Structure 1
Amino acid sequence: MHHYDIMLTRAINHLAGTSSLLDMFLVDLTKAGVPIMVLAVALQWWRKDDRPGVRHTLISSGMAFLLGLAINQAILIFIHRIRPYDAGLTHLLIAPNPDFSFPSDHATASMAIAVTFLLRGSRRWGGAFLMVACIICFSRVYVGTHYLTDVLGGAVTASLAAFLVTGLYRKGTRLDRRLTEIF
C-alpha cells in the first residue's frame, strides 16, 4: 500500500510545472480554497428561503469543520508522518509547512463542509462544495505538501465528523432554534 501511495503522490506532483496556468490556479486554490468555502457558507446565513433549515445546515457544517480539525489534532499526537517534500519525494510549489503531514487539514476542512451539506439534503450546494473540496485535495498533492493518503485520511476524518454532527445535532431542538435565530 505504501508503495502505491508514493507512486500516486509522485505521479500527481510530477504534473506540476507542465502548465504555468495550472500551477498558478492550484497554488492559489490550495492557499485560498478553504477560506473561500467558509465565506460561501457564511454568506448563506442571510438567505430568505427555508431560513431555519439553511441555518441548521450552516451551523452543522461549522461544527463538522471544527470537530474534523479537532480529530486531526488528536491523530497528530500519535502519527508523526513527515511531509513528502521532506522525504525527497515531491517538488514543493508553496512555502514548507512545519507540522506533520497526516491527515490533511485542508482536506478535512473542505470535505467536512461538503459532506455535511450532502447529509443535510442540500444536493446543489453539497455537490458544488464536493467538487471544490476534491480539487483542493488534489491541489495539496499537486503542490507537493501531502501524500495522497494524507488527503484521503482528511476526507475520512471529515466524513466521520459530519456523520457525528448530523447524528447528534438535530433540527428543531431547543439548541437548534436558539442558534438559528441569531441575527
Structure 2
Amino acid sequence: MFQNMILFEENILLWIQSNLRSDIITPFMIFITNLGNSGAIWIVLSLGLLIPKKTRKIGVMSLCALFLSVIIDNVILKNLIARTRPCDVIEGLTCLIQRPTDFSFPSGHTGSSFAAAVILFLGLPKKYSFTAIILAALIGFSRLYVGVHYLSDVIGGAVIGTMIAVLVYWIGINWVRKETIE
C-alpha cells in the first residue's frame, strides 16, 4: 500500500510537469514559491501588523506561529523523517528552481505559510485574511509545480501549520482574556 502511495505521488508530479507547466505559468509559480523562501512574505506581513495597535496581537501571534513552524517542520521533522526530494529520485522530473539542500517532508514553505495565514484568517476581517489563505495554498501548490515536494509533503506542511496556528491563536486569545480579567 505504501508503495502505491509513492507511485501515486510520483505520477501527480509527472502529470503536473506534463500538463500544467507552461512558459506563461512557470515564471508566476517561481515567483510565488520564492515568496515563501524563509517565510519572507509572512514575516513582512506580520511585522506590518505590529505597527497598528489594533492588529499588534495578531502580528505577535503570527510571528510566534512562524517560529514554531520553523522549529517543528525544518529543524525536527525534516531531519527525523529524512525524506529525499522528488526531483532527486523521480526519473524524468525536472526541478525548476535551485534544488533545496534539506529534506522533503514536511514542506517548510507550506507549513510556515499556513501557520501565518491561519492566524491572519482567525484574527483579521475575512475580506483581508481570505487572501492570505489563497496565497498559502498557492505557495503550497507551487512547491509541487517546481518539483521539490511530494503532495504528502505539502499536505503535511499545511496540516502542521494549521495546527500550530490554531494552538498559538488559542493560547494568545486565552492569555489576552486572562490578562484583561486580572
Common fold by TM > 0.5? yes
Which residue in 1 is equivalent to 2:48?
43
Are 2:148 and 1:145 equivalent residues in the alignment?
Answer: yes
Write the deviation string for residues 10-33 of structure 1: whole angstroms up to 9, x where unpaired: 2223346x4222111111221124
Q: Please list the CA deviations of residues 89-129 of structure 1 after superposition, one character each: whole Å capped at 9, or x if unmatched.
A: 52101111111100011001111111112222532232111
1:111 paired residue among 111, 114, 119: 114
Distance in 1, Cα, partners of 2:65 & 2:127:
19
Identity of aligned residues (%): 30
> Which has the bigger relative contact order, CA under 8 A and spacing at least 6?
1
Trace 1:93-112 onto structure 2 (pairs within 5 A): 93-112=96-115
- Structure 2: distance between partners of 1:85 and 1:37: 26
Query: How many residue pairs were aligned?
Result: 170
- In the alignment, is residue 4 of structure 1 matched against residue 1 of structure 2? no
Query: TM-score scaled by structure 2?
Result: 0.83
Deviations 1:127-167 (A, max 9, x none): 11110111111111101111111111111110111121122
Higher helix share: 2
Residues 63, 116 of structure 2: 8 Å contact kept: yes
**1:1-183 → structure 2 map (5 Å cutoff):** 1-15=5-19, 18-33=21-36, 34-47=39-52, 51-52=53-54, 54-72=55-73, 73-89=75-91, 90-169=93-172, 170-172=175-177, 174=179
CA RMSD in angstroms, aligned pairs only: 2.0
TM-score w.r.t. the length of structure 1 is 0.83
Q: Distance in 2 between matches of 1:38 and 1:15?
A: 33
